[in-house]
């Protein structure tokens, strides 16, 4: 792996500029909380988050910390822990720009970018409130069948795809296991930044068991080694959700003061908090 591909966490986070459109995965599909904390420390501003297709803690923290001001998603939730408090507060005050979507719409628009086409048709949206709110989505007549309206979605081409993965090799290949949406994100984005649990000297593309779940180095821009980089979220079978940490977060983040208090605690030394 070249020095331009493998870096430390701060150098990886430094590649995300103010105002970038950043694709991030759902809470159970490899969220890079390590990179999220690094972005907060840098004081990044104006990010447009594309949640693939939903998000939770990562987006809530980025909103509360002032990192993100536009959210494109089909949902923001902390699951059994309830609503995402900083997201809800920002919606109520109008501090963020919200682009409502659906899960199929997010995936389809990323697939359009993956294929290099400017838009993609999708059914199932006509007559919905979501379509009424999205002026960038267009309804046309099916050119191949009369009286068959269909919706066109513009391609979503993120500047950055950002996620956490189990393993990378020194050639720049990244093992993502069964999380295929991460591959779509990497194909669609201009750059792909990945934090990983471990680095191996083996060539992952030559591993017959792992290679079907590998993103080739061609689509990977930068990798940083960040053990427990998804904490406090669950990361596959490697470690469980830290329920105590999430409970404390939800309780504290109901107020701005409480959010800032727990955020500073996590920023101080997230690895030791997770241990």
Full set of structural domains in the chain with CATH: 6-101+157-242 (3.40.1080.10)
Q: Is the pLDDT of residue 2 over 60?
A: no
What pLDDT shows up at residue 275? 46
What pLDDT shows up at residue 170? 95
Alpha helices in 96-174 (DSSP H): 103-115, 129-133
Q: What is the DSSP letter of 216?
A: -
Average confidence (pLDDT) over 77-100: 97
180 Cβ contact list (under 8 Å, min separation 6):
none
93 by DSSP, 3-state: which?
helix
Average confidence (pLDDT) over 32-36: 98
Residues 247, 258 contacting (CB under 8 angstroms): no
What pLDDT shows up at residue 269? 74
Average confidence (pLDDT) over 206-219: 96
In the chain, the percentage of residues whose pLDDT exceeds 70 is 96
Q: Compute the distance between CA of residue 162 and CA of residue 58 in angstroms, rounded to an integer.
A: 11
27 Cβ contact list (under 8 Å, min separation 6):
54, 55, 56, 57, 58, 79, 233, 234
pLDDT averaged over the chain?
Answer: 95
Q: Is the pLDDT of residue 273 over 90?
A: no
The tally of CA atoms less than 13 A away on the side-chain side of residue 95 is 17
In the chain, the percentage of residues whose pLDDT exceeds 90 is 96
Tens digits of residue pLDDT in 260-272: 999 999 999 765 4
State the pLDDT confidence band at 1, using cuts at 50, 70 and 90. low
| Residue 138, H or E segment | strand 138-141
Record the pTM.
Answer: 0.95
Q: Compute the distance between CA of residue 124 and CA of residue 170 in angstroms, rounded to an integer.
A: 44
């Amino acid at each position: 792996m070249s020095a331009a591909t493998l870096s430390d966490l701060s150098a990886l986070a430094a590649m995300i500029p103010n105002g970038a459109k950043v694709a991030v995965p759902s809470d159970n599909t490899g969220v890079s909380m390590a990179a999220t904390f690094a972005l907060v420390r840098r004081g990044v501003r104006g990010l447009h988050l594309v949640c693939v297709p939903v998000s939770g803690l990562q987006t809530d923290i980025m909103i509360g910390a002032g990192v993100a001001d536009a959210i494109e998603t089909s949902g923001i939730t902390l699951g059994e822990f309830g609503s995402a408090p900083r997201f809800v507060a920002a919606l109520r005050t109008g501090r963020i720009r919200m682009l409502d979507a659906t899960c199929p719409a997010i995936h389809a628009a990323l697939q359009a970018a993956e294929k290099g086409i400017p838009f993609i048709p999708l059914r199932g949206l006509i007559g919905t409130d979501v379509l009424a709110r999205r002026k960038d989505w267009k309804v046309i007549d099916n050119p191949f069948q009369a009286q068959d309206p269909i919706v066109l979605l513009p391609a979503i081409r993120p500047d950055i795809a950002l996620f956490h993965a189990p393993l990378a090799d020194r050639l720049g290949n990244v093992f993502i296991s069964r999380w295929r949406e991460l591959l779509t994100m990497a194909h669609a984005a201009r750059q792909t930044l990945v934090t990983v649990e471990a680095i191996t000297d083996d060539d992952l593309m030559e591993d017959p068991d792992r290679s079907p779940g590998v993103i080739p180095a061609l689509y990977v821009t930068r990798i940083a080694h960040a053990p427990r980089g998804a904490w406090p979220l669950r990361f596959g079978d490697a470690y469980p959700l830290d329920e105590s940490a999430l409970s404390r977060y939800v309780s504290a983040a109901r107020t701005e003061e409480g959010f800032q208090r727990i955020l500073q605690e996590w920023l101080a030394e997230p690895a030791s908090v997770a241990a």
